[in-house]
Structure 1
Amino acid sequence: MTVPAQKSAFRHLGAAALLWASAVGCHAGSFGAGIENSRWYLAESVFECSLVHEVPGYGKAVFRHRAGEDLSFFLESALPLMRPGRGELVVEAPEWRPGVPPTPVGQVDVSDTPRPVSVDHRQAMAMVQGLLNGMRPTVTRTSRFGGQPVRVHVSNVNFAGHFESYRNCAANLLPVNYDQIRRSRIAFSSGSARLSATDRQLLDNIAIYVLADSTVEQVFVDGHSDRLGSRIDNRALSEDRANVVADYLKARGIAGDKLIVRAHGDQYPVSRRPADNRRTNIRLQREGERPEFQQANGYGGGSAG
């Protein structure tokens, strides 16, 4: 989409939201499901567990737990109803539990995006605890189109049973997600091509992920050295470093034809510090991703490392 087309689409969206706000009236600033229409559903895989709640008239409320990360929460809406800025998050009693005071959870950032509110793990867990206690998390922020507050409620009705299913899903998540291991680095001591226990743990996680994600089509393993010593020795050492990583990944089940193993010697330094250049880089490539090419840029250097 061109820039003018994007601006036009945004103007149309804003106009639609303004018409919608005018149509529902200034008193319709509270959104939430009631007992009769509160729905939760779980989207689950080894890569991610998401508890999704439909908020009638507003959009969705989502608890999201990606592999290798903590639980988080966000609101999703096609219409920009809240004014960007700082909103309030509280856990309060629903209408059928009068007299219970609300518990402040903290401020939240409200953005001008389809996901206007995202909260961190601490706040997400406070929301979960409130829901399990029969309370209703609520986000409040001034309306984009006037001074009236917009209040989005997250219903506790039907939550507890689905949360148990979420916990079972979370227990079976992979240890890492794609973004965490798509680019990884193994550092080596001078003259060494030995893997440490920490290195093996990283490689175990990479292997577990690659075996689970059928869209990963190639794993690039690139060995490097510093510039201390002769180029011939450095080339051989970088090859040993690449091979020790590739052999470990093969032993963990990754097919040899998926591995692209290369040795670069001291051709591609990333720093003036020799220790930063003694490394093997591992890069995953999924189907459809554009291949990337390393660029040579150098610094200077005298035993192999």
Structure 2
Amino acid sequence: MATSSRKFRLGLSGALSLGLVAPAGAASYGAGIENSQWYLAESVFECTLVHQVPGYGKAVFRHRAGEQLTFFLESESPLMRPGRGDLVVEAPVWRPGVAPRPLGKVSISDGNRPLLLDSRQSMAVVQGLLAGMRPTVTRESWFDGRPVRVQVSNINFTPQFHSYQACTANLLPVNYDQVQRSRIPFASGSTSLSARDREVLDDIVAFVLADPTIERVFVDGHSDRLGSRIDNRALSEQRANAVADYLKARGVAEDLITVRAHGDQYPVSRRPADNRRTNIRLQRQGERPELQQANGYGGESAG
């Protein structure tokens, strides 16, 4: 019995040191001075700053190319009941007397990523950490309704955040989801690229040159149904070539580019302006090429 009691005391002491047990019936999770670390993963595609929350999971700042900063919690098991939780920044225990500052209500969802904050709220969390505070999310537990508190430690945050900022300054202008499928519109009878079109293509070029897993760039020219089918086929080819030539001139390898001309065969709308276009589709290694479908106004060729 004495041995069991001693093991219980040791286990409780360890749990308290990790922040797994809190007063007043709350289950609290957070790193202490001895185990608070932040880890940076950086590339031109994404910058991620990860903090391990002992007993709970992870707190993550994420900035993808072409998007804004987000913050989320990732749990090893769903501990919080879905609904509205509270987000505050509060002083660590070694700074008594500093009043907590509410940041508002937050949505807690089901699954292993219960909290996702937008850019504004994410920056509020950043400012709290830089000020030496501990952002804390509180919500009822799934199991017994007691509060679950997840604390994000500010210890060792500031130097890693400065490195994180340097990473975000070097991000590409767009991410894969944003450029995997792109569309260049054309005026009636035109094959000319506008300044805006060149900006779109420049973003595609920047991504393709940075991502060695891109194995194919499909360039598909289309036309409306005004005029003869032969003329429309030639016009769609000229539009596709105008885009492909621009990509090649900017550095995309010719052997990556597949040019196809479809004329007026695959309309996507009853509006002629919507059908005067060249589509660009990127394909990465390991991605299964999509089947081509073209069923009148509801379909479009792969690309």
TM-score (norm 1): 0.88
Q: Which runs of 4+ in 1 moved over 6 A?
A: 23-26
> In the alignment, what sits opposite 1:78?
76
> In the alignment, what sits opposite 2:130?
132
Q: Which of 246, 249, 255 in structure 1 is aligned with 2:247?
A: 249
Give the distance between the partners of 2:203 and 2:55, measured in 1 at CA.
42
> In the alignment, what sits opposite 2:279?
281
Question: Paired residues, what number?
Answer: 277
Give the distance between the partners of 1:98 and 1:279, measured in 2 at CA.
64
> In the alignment, what sits opposite 2:195?
197
Give the distance between the partners of 1:37 and 1:114, measured in 2 at CA.
23
Q: Which amino acid aligns with 1:205?
A: D
Q: Which amino acid aligns with 1:66?
A: R
Give the distance between the partners of 1:130 and 1:199, measured in 2 at CA.
41
- 1:188 Cα shift? 0.5
Three-state SS of the structure 2 residue aligned to 1:152 is: strand
Give the distance between the partners of 2:216 and 2:288, measured in 1 at CA.
12
Mean Cα deviation higher: 285-294 or 244-253? 285-294
CA contact (8 A) 2:26 2:149 kept: no
5+ residue gaps, structure 1, are 1-22, 300-305
Give the distance between the partners of 1:122 and 1:32, measured in 2 at CA.
23
Three-state SS of the structure 1 residue aligned to 2:220 is: strand
> In the alignment, what sits opposite 1:98?
96
> In the alignment, what sits opposite 1:17?
none
Pairing 1:151–2:158 present:
no
Give the distance between the partners of 2:194 and 2:134, measured in 1 at CA.
48
CA contact (8 A) 2:64 2:175 kept: yes
Q: Which amino acid aligns with 1:105?
A: L
Mean Cα deviation higher: 85-94 or 201-210? 85-94
> In the alignment, what sits opposite 1:302?
none
Q: Which of 233, 236, 240 in structure 2 is aligned with 1:238?
A: 236
Q: Which amino acid aligns with 2:235?
A: L
- 1:28 Cα shift? 5.7
Q: Which amino acid aligns with 1:225?
A: S
Pairing 1:207–2:242 present:
no
Give the distance between the partners of 2:271 and 2:99, measured in 1 at CA.
58
Q: Which amino acid aligns with 1:279?
A: R
CA contact (8 A) 1:267 1:297 kept: no
RMSD: 1.5
Give the distance between the partners of 1:41 and 1:296, measured in 2 at CA.
47
Give the distance between the partners of 1:173 and 1:273, measured in 2 at CA.
37
CA contact (8 A) 2:26 2:147 kept: no
Q: Which of 56, 62, 65 in structure 2 is aligned with 1:64?
A: 62
Between the aligned residues of both structures, percent identity stands at: 75
- 1:27 Cα shift? 3.6
Pairing 1:113–2:145 present:
no
- 1:30 Cα shift? 0.5
- 1:36 Cα shift? 1.4
Give the distance between the partners of 1:272 and 1:181, measured in 2 at CA.
25
Per-residue displacement from partner, 1:123-157 (whole Å, max 9, x unpaired)?
A: 00000011001111111110110121000000001
Q: Which amino acid aligns with 1:83?
A: R
